[in-house]
Structure 1
Amino acid sequence: MTDVDDRTPAPRPTEMQVRARADALLSRMTVEEKVGQLVQYFSFGPHFTSDGPALQQPDEVEHALARGRTGALLFVTDPAETNRLQRLAIEGSRHGIPALFGFDVVHGLRTIFPVPIAMAASWDPGTVERGQAVAAREARAVGVHLTFAPMLDIARDPRWGRMVEGPGEDPYLASALAAAQVRGFQGDDVGAPDRIIAGPKHFVGYGAALGGRDYDEVDLSESALRNVYLPPFRAAVEAGAGNVMSAYMDLNGIPAGATRRLFTEILREQWGFTGFVVTDADAGRDLVTHGFAADAAEAAARGVGAGVDLEMATTDPAYAHLPEALERGDLDIATVDASVRRILEAKVRLGLFERPFVDERRAAVVLADPAHREEARVAAERSAVLLRNEGGLLPLDPTTLRSVAVLGPLADSRRDTLGPWVFDVDLDETVTVLAGLRGRLDPAVTEVRFAPGIRPARRVFPSMFDVHPGNVPADPEDFDDDAELRRAVSLAAGSDVAVVVLGEWQHMIGEGASRSSLDLPGRQEELLRAVVATGTPVVLVLMNGRPLDLRWAAENVPAILDVWYPGTRGGTAAARLLTGDVSPAGRLPFTWPRSVGQVPLIYSHTRSHSPSAQGVRYWDEASTPLFPFGFGLSYGRFAYSGLTLDRISVRRGESVAVSVTVTNTGNRDADEVAQLYLHQRHGTASRPVRELAGFRRLHVPAGGSRDVVFRLGPAELSYWNAAAGTVVQDRAPFDVWVGGDATAELTTSFVVTG
């Protein structure tokens, strides 16, 4: 079916036209038809089975479409199937209303980019925006209209597995990346060609679950909520996000997905959000699980009454019971109409009434676009963080290497190279670290030998995500653990350098994958220690989505490069980084603790009693991090000088310009991420010892310099004050630091007066 090529620009309706068309449809709809628009079903197809939550069977989905009882589907990425189901939706509606199709386009569809925490490590909104634009183009080509991304949950406890999906610990960095992702997904606004609706999630506080345990309750002060957890969402809304997803957990004793204050008062009334809100999977019915609602009808009334418009349901949606809730008087029809109107308006803005189908022939062309793979490679290069490089071991010189041992269970695992939260992938296109090095090094000069050393780790507990092909590695037959480890060590001993690729298997992180330990899994550290003991120079390449316990490695391994889960062209990028074709310039988007006993450990803490002892809070270990927030090494060397202000005193509401010169004193061209941190010395609240208030990624040639100007205005100098119950800007002195991470020493100060 090639009914319409949706690249052809359709006349864009005005907001008045959007509202008028939605209202006209609404006036002709029955209660049952309205309720159908508020239900989104999973549609996995007949091949899909699960030991997890019950899922709709294909005939159930088609029956709902034929009766106009669902307005949206998700998890369909075959354009032919999308068109078939869309036709059923239109023909099943008395009013010809098309369906919305959603998908978890978290870090790519067919072309997989580095995981979101890695993209955050690029400290480059432009790279992030381009990556999500590629994802949107591929998704729209196959018929997807809505993504459940970006995930904007601030995460300060790395035991929480979903840290991998988000922007890290800092609200300033997260806000810049949030806006970039929305622009990448949506373009200028909802309905832009080759773009999809962005869906920031999970609103709000999900990343603060007790103990880092996924889905567990969250207790947040109003100060933390306003100053830390809400800002990235506000940035996404201001960038035009058309959808927001609710969160699963209790927030301060009330399920977040039924908190009117969040969705109606803050999101819509205070921020002016005009899009629609969707639940996370089964979070509508979860209100019964929480003990917040007595039954499904009450759960539906509580959800819609709070301002949550669309229920994502694996089976038996609570919102299907809305007619019962209306009959009981649990809510009124005007409230239901408001939710339905928002769904209809989204469909009008997307142009689905005029162009409901996808061009199947074009979809194949878009998915195969080699430019997308190149963009993914560049993103992987810009995301990698060099954590250690003693003696200048890196970059490796390809002209002098005669033998390289590539070791570790992740070195040639295509599925792990992609990372979690990808489903519609082509593993044949994925380049592993082993393949990347073999492609980069001349076989006539360098022999590249491989041994996994240890067997893959299997998931201990089943998950609904295991049903996707390749999510859990097969247990290799006849794998002799001790013999394989000895073989890996032997290869290392006979090589010029050993590249050891370790970390977490991709199924060990993500949703439902919290950990009680940050240790390298299984026998990985044993393998690493044995390889180091050979005396061969060792480069540790990490694949991960959170900090791991690297205390031994940080003292004994000369070079450590964190490539995260680098995506489709990750191995190519890793090889180029290791051989110096490009210099690493990623910077950590979180504080890296020494051990799990330190978490949560954040740089932007407040000053407490005995600040001089801040780094020695434990009797058995330093309280300082292994690597600070914003940290990352380079093949260049950078010096900061000439820190000046355009004024040393400003009145409230005014701005101050901060200038600094960044010089590359090394002999290699490289990127640097200049970072500005602020501290308000005193005021009407205790303020963090340092807070990121500006950053700039810039390329500096060897021996060259770049001047950088940061502007600090009311947004950077204000905060939400718990005592006042509002945003305030105090009259106070401010300290400024500029440098390459959160421990920057170049400093000056100014005063806010009046």
Structure 2
Amino acid sequence: MRRIYLILGLTICTAASVLQAQAQIPEVEELLSKMTLEEKIGQLNLVTPGGGVATGSVVSEDVEAKIKEGNVGGIFGVSSPEKVRQAQKLAVENSRLGIPLLIGSDVIHGYKTTFPIPLGLSSSWDMDLIKETAQIAAKEATADGINWNFSPMVDIARDPRWGRIAEGAGEDPYLGSQVARAMVEGYQGEDFSAPNTMLATVKHLALYGAVEAGRDYNSVDMSKIKMFNEYLPPYKAAVDAGVASAMTSFNDIHGVPASGNKWLITDLLRERWGFDGFVVSDYTSVNEMIAHGMGDLQDVSALAINAGLDMDMVGEGFLTTLKKSVEEGKVSEEQITKAVRRILEAKHKLGLLDNPYLYSDESRPEKDILTEENRSIARKAARRSFVLLKKHKNTLPLSKDAKIALVGPMANNKNNMLGTWAPTGNPELSVPILEGLRNVAPQAEITYAKGANISNDSVFADKVNVFGPRIEISEKSPEAMIEEALEVSRGADVIVAAVGEATEMSGEAASRTSLSIPESQKKLIRALVKTGKPVVLVLMSGRPLVIEEEMQMPVSILQVWHPGVEAGNAIADVIFGDYNPSGKLTATWPRNVGQIPIYYRMKTTGRPAPESGEFQKFKSNYLDSPNSPLLPFGYGLSYTNFEYGETKISDNKLSKGGTITITTTVTNTGAYDGAEVVQLYTHDKVRSITPPKKELKAFKKILLEKGESKKVSFEISAEDLKFYNANLEFVVEPGEFEFFVAGSSDHQFTGTFTVVE
């Protein structure tokens, strides 16, 4: 009996019947009919010849010989039209069947034109902009011969100790889903076979952002209710947007590592969601199932292929064991054929079966990569990602003829502008902050001193500097460096201190138990504040930090993440007021590490703490800290002020087939033009499983001139209020909902409506 699933009220068939119903591709079927078992297994092998930035400790050997033997389906770590043509020529002209290769790469936040880290991009809340950055990344990468991207990473992350929070869109499933969709559409475009589009890969399937203790590659243990409502939506949004491939994660799910998890890859991804692309493992994650305790290499390779994994990244367990497993009856050749078909179908989509050299046009790099237009968009993206965390008096924006002391280890540091996971970017082409300030305000009098090392800990620095000098420790003493900073500050009107995390203090394998600004820099900040001069902190990081001390200081704080290749120019645009900061946080900032995990969608307990924050015994609170975060999800200030008028609703009853409209008026009451992210939150007061305190349901980013008012409307249907119940049915239940419209998640509900049958 075939299984069926109920999704959104629609019955869909299992993946097997979906595949049977799909029209077969003649070119693919012809190739399959000619392939030996060994050649089929070869298509499941993804290798890297090394030479680039590796994401693991293993580099493939004898790659050229394996390609000629038909034992490679794809490669990564190779770029440029010439090198890609050489690789394709090995496959097409030297292997028996001449099947071209997939050419992959990690193009996470831009190719040569590096945009802000994804957490920063998400803080723009600008889906058109995010889509545009993905389009540019695809155009540049394909110009360099790459046709398959290991992006977007859509993992929901609520623990900033996990360094890879930098690569995603933060903590919220709704916002994360919008970002996932925008990036997939940007990379893939409307025509896979166009030379400037590429296959996208949704990763990491699944739940990787919820690793225990915030420690990379760690275990995940989660109920299905929490998975479906909180963590899975962005992956599904990418699938619904037509993403071509998916990458499995390193963690286990229900006790089975993702790369060998049949429930995840086949039951959920293929059958429930109807995904028809191919699935690739992460770097050696098949082999790593041995350390998980799942058996030897043959065992885990059989487990993976039987679970529905199609391609093995670097580990070569498929290449070296699958034939034996077929002979022993542990794996069927039919299962291998299914995997090969999916990979060949992807190559057909890209047009490679018709023209293996489609991505080898040597005229493209010069006209498509790192152009002035692309850099201009990188500058725009960076300044829209910045979040003004605190404004003190009227320090910002600065006058362009001011006397400025620029200090701090990030102030004149090209190596830390691009951010983590920018292996295709060139730090030397980035604009440091000192250069940017001088570009934007040439008449300003700017003096500079480093002032402090990012960290004084040489052991820590060695761990961070795996990919190059990110933390450079001066031969000068810390005391002498601070004195130099104070000296250049004495004649200044204002001090701008560029501080924070080095690039590789966040990202993969960069988990931290302390999220404070390193003590070397904290000492500098304290000394600068003691001068009594106005101080602006330009804070750079790949994650939320613990900055309670700094927030209590008489300083202004601009969070700039790691802004990318145009970092300095974009920062100067905002500091001097050419652009009014409009970013909003997409991950909650804790007061201290002990509050983690902390996120706005937390549930109300049976013994909730008072909203006032007053301590009461036998309530859900801490003895030594408030429950509330330092900075809430959706938070971000502006040089101007926005006033929200009364929120109105078109009808206080919402039928399951109807819609209601929620409207408010937003007025710019300040002295600067500015953009505001207007956010709608709801709360289901009574339902069959405990609801979150509040849920983001819609948002709009609007531009308001000073003194201008705009009416903002959100149309809400019952579909928008659905959730997965205890039976994992996607439903909306009749009952009362609260709502509010505001500039962040930290507001009280102002109205109600009722969903009726």
The TM-score range, normalised by the shorter chain, is over 0.9
- Amino acid of the residue matched to residue 638 of structure 2? S
Q: Distance in 2 between matches of 1:720 and 1:630?
A: 25
Q: Which moved more, 1:480-489 or 1:360-369?
A: 360-369
Q: Distance in 2 between matches of 1:200 and 1:52?
A: 19
* Contact 2:719–2:732, Cα closer than 8 Å, also in 1: no
Determine the structure 2 residue equivalent to 1:451.
Answer: 449
- Amino acid of the residue matched to residue 141 of structure 2? A
Determine the structure 2 residue equivalent to 1:727.
Answer: 730
* 1:472, distance to aligned residue in structure 2 (A): 3.9
CA 1:128–1:102 in structure 2 vs 1: closer, same or farther (change >3 Å)?
same
Q: Distance in 2 between matches of 1:746 and 1:177?
A: 26
* 1:19, distance to aligned residue in structure 2 (A): 2.1
Q: Distance in 2 between matches of 1:337 and 1:596?
A: 49
* 1:291, distance to aligned residue in structure 2 (A): 0.9
Determine the structure 2 residue equivalent to 1:348.
Answer: 348
In the alignment, structure 1 residue 133 sits paired with structure 2 residue 139: no
Deviations 1:20-42 (A, max 9, x none): 22111111100110001001001
Determine the structure 2 residue equivalent to 1:306.
Answer: 307
Determine the structure 2 residue equivalent to 1:687.
Answer: 691
* 1:480, distance to aligned residue in structure 2 (A): 2.7
In the alignment, structure 1 residue 418 sits paired with structure 2 residue 422: no
* 1:545, distance to aligned residue in structure 2 (A): 1.4
CA 1:752–1:16 in structure 2 vs 1: closer, same or farther (change >3 Å)?
closer
Q: Structure 2 unaligned segments of length 5 or more: list them.
A: 1-20, 616-620
Q: How does 1:152-551 map to 2 (within 5 A)?
A: 152-292=154-294, 294-313=295-314, 315-357=315-357, 358-399=360-401, 401=402, 403-443=403-443, 446-457=444-455, 460=459, 468=467, 470=468, 472-476=470-474, 478-551=475-548
Q: Which moved more, 1:448-457 or 1:211-220?
A: 448-457
* Contact 2:454–2:518, Cα closer than 8 Å, also in 1: no
In the alignment, structure 1 residue 644 sits paired with structure 2 residue 648: yes
- Amino acid of the residue matched to residue 412 of structure 1? N
- Amino acid of the residue matched to residue 654 of structure 1? G
* Contact 1:297–1:319, Cα closer than 8 Å, also in 2: no
Q: Structure 1 unaligned segments of length 5 or more: list them.
A: 1-14
CA 1:170–1:463 in structure 2 vs 1: closer, same or farther (change >3 Å)?
farther
Determine the structure 2 residue equivalent to 1:752.
Answer: 755
* Contact 2:279–2:309, Cα closer than 8 Å, also in 1: yes
- Amino acid of the residue matched to residue 36 of structure 2? T
Q: Distance in 2 between matches of 1:535 and 1:390?
A: 13
* 1:188, distance to aligned residue in structure 2 (A): 1.9
Instruction: Output the TM-score relative to the length of structure 1.
Output: 0.93
3-state secondary structure, aligned to 1:671: strand
* Contact 2:148–2:200, Cα closer than 8 Å, also in 1: yes
* 1:368, distance to aligned residue in structure 2 (A): 3.5
In the alignment, structure 1 residue 34 sits paired with structure 2 residue 40: yes
Match for residue 23 of structure 1 among 7, 20, 29 = 29
* 1:564, distance to aligned residue in structure 2 (A): 0.4
CA 1:49–1:396 in structure 2 vs 1: closer, same or farther (change >3 Å)?
closer
- Amino acid of the residue matched to residue 545 of structure 2? L
Q: Distance in 2 between matches of 1:660 and 1:182?
A: 32
Determine the structure 2 residue equivalent to 1:622.
Answer: 626
Determine the structure 1 residue equivalent to 2:11.
Answer: none
Q: How does 1:556-567 map to 2 (within 5 A)?
A: 556-567=553-564
Q: Distance in 1 between matches of 2:491 and 2:460?
A: 39
- Amino acid of the residue matched to residue 281 of structure 1? Y
Q: How does 1:600-749 map to 2 (within 5 A)?
A: 600-613=597-610, 615=613, 616=615, 617-722=621-726, 724-745=727-748, 747-749=750-752
Q: Distance in 1 between matches of 2:258 and 2:690?
A: 28
Q: Distance in 1 between matches of 2:717 and 2:754?
A: 13
* Contact 2:298–2:317, Cα closer than 8 Å, also in 1: no
3-state secondary structure, aligned to 2:399: coil
- Please provide the CA RMSD for this pair: 1.9
* 1:653, distance to aligned residue in structure 2 (A): 3.7
* Contact 1:190–1:242, Cα closer than 8 Å, also in 2: no
CA 1:410–1:382 in structure 2 vs 1: closer, same or farther (change >3 Å)?
same
3-state secondary structure, aligned to 1:707: strand
Q: Distance in 2 between matches of 1:130 and 1:675?
A: 23
CA 1:187–1:635 in structure 2 vs 1: closer, same or farther (change >3 Å)?
same
* 1:635, distance to aligned residue in structure 2 (A): 1.5
3-state secondary structure, aligned to 1:304: helix
* Contact 2:163–2:512, Cα closer than 8 Å, also in 1: yes
Q: Distance in 1 between matches of 2:119 and 2:541?
A: 9
Q: Distance in 2 between matches of 1:82 and 1:467?
A: 27
Instruction: Output the TM-score relative to the length of structure 2.
Output: 0.93
Deviations 1:653-683 (A, max 9, x none): 4322211111111121110000000001112
Q: Distance in 2 between matches of 1:539 and 1:721?
A: 48
Determine the structure 1 residue equivalent to 2:10.
Answer: none
| Identity of matched residues, % | 39
Deviations 1:480-499 (A, max 9, x none): 32211111122223311111
Q: Distance in 2 between matches of 1:466 and 1:311?
A: 29
* Contact 1:52–1:464, Cα closer than 8 Å, also in 2: no
Q: Distance in 1 between matches of 2:149 and 2:719?
A: 29
* Contact 1:640–1:746, Cα closer than 8 Å, also in 2: no
CA 1:217–1:461 in structure 2 vs 1: closer, same or farther (change >3 Å)?
farther
- Amino acid of the residue matched to residue 33 of structure 1? E
Q: Distance in 2 between matches of 1:103 and 1:397?
A: 43
* 1:428, distance to aligned residue in structure 2 (A): 3.3
Aligned pairs, how many? 727
Q: Which moved more, 1:111-120 or 1:614-623?
A: 614-623
Q: Which moved more, 1:367-376 or 1:648-657?
A: 648-657
Determine the structure 2 residue equivalent to 1:12.
Answer: none
Q: How does 1:109-124 map to 2 (within 5 A)?
A: 109-124=111-126
* Contact 2:32–2:337, Cα closer than 8 Å, also in 1: yes
Q: Distance in 2 between matches of 1:514 and 1:467?
A: 14
Q: Distance in 1 between matches of 2:685 and 2:268?
A: 30
* Contact 2:147–2:198, Cα closer than 8 Å, also in 1: yes
CA 1:297–1:429 in structure 2 vs 1: closer, same or farther (change >3 Å)?
same
3-state secondary structure, aligned to 2:368: helix
- Amino acid of the residue matched to residue 496 of structure 1? D
3-state secondary structure, aligned to 1:500: strand
- Amino acid of the residue matched to residue 476 of structure 2? F
CA 1:590–1:50 in structure 2 vs 1: closer, same or farther (change >3 Å)?
closer
* Contact 2:415–2:428, Cα closer than 8 Å, also in 1: no
Q: Distance in 1 between matches of 2:747 and 2:306?
A: 48
3-state secondary structure, aligned to 1:33: helix
3-state secondary structure, aligned to 1:630: coil
Determine the structure 2 residue equivalent to 1:588.
Answer: 585
3-state secondary structure, aligned to 1:715: helix
CA 1:123–1:52 in structure 2 vs 1: closer, same or farther (change >3 Å)?
closer
Deviations 1:55-113 (A, max 9, x none): 124xx111111111001001112322111111111123222110001000000110000
